[in-house]
Amino acid sequence: MPLAESIPAPALLDALRAAGVTDVVAVPDTHQRTLIELLQADPDIRFIQTTTEDEAIALAAGLVVGGRRPLVQIQHAGMYASVNNLRGVAIDGGFPLVLLIGLLGRDPRKPPRENFDSMVRYAEPLLDALEVPHVLLDGPADLPRLAEAARLAAARSGPVAVFVGMTTA
């Protein structure tokens, strides 16, 4: 029996609004494709597509300086690729960024740390090593964790990761 279930993109968009997100800075992510489609048509949350995760983190930090409340939307592979900017900009710079990270390829019957795929299995331990708090959205009932992550990022003046356990619907 699956531990994780797909989250409908409209519900995830509502959770972004509830968290006070003003902008989503993203690298295209097939895991969260349905959310991206909604964001591109949404008049209230600005969607900014970047070419790399490093660019997304730096741009989001600039938006914070400008008084905005951005969210960085990436896939786990991009998280690995952007570790230096995550550390140097978000952590060392003290930017309250929320990272919405898709766990593409996750076996929904297992917790991320027990997955065969090393990209999924090492995602949480990597953030633990960087002392970045993280939560897992394994279904619609977990959506309030997004607003909690935004509050925590602001309170700690640093990044907080929100993993999306299954492809959005």
Q: Give the mean model confidence (pLDDT) for residues 19-45.
A: 94
pLDDT over 80 (residue 29):
no
Q: pTM to 2 decimals?
A: 0.97
* CA dist., res. 65 & res. 15, Å (int): 23
Question: For a pLDDT cut of 70, what percent of the chain falls above it?
Answer: 100
Per-residue confidence (pLDDT) for residue 2, from 0 to 100? 87
Taken in order of first residue, the domains within the chain and their CATH numbers are 9-164 (3.40.50.970)
Q: Using one digit for the tens of pLDDT, what is the confidence trace for 76-128?
A: 999 999 999 999 999 999 999 999 999 999 999 999 999 999 999 999 999 99
Render pLDDT for 117-161 as a digit per residue (tens, 0 to 9).
Answer: 999 999 999 999 999 999 999 999 999 999 999 999 999 999 999
From 125, 105, 129, select the one nearest 115 (Cα to Cα).
105
CA distances from 125 to 3, 92, 98 (A): 19, 19, 18
d(CA 108, CA 131): 25
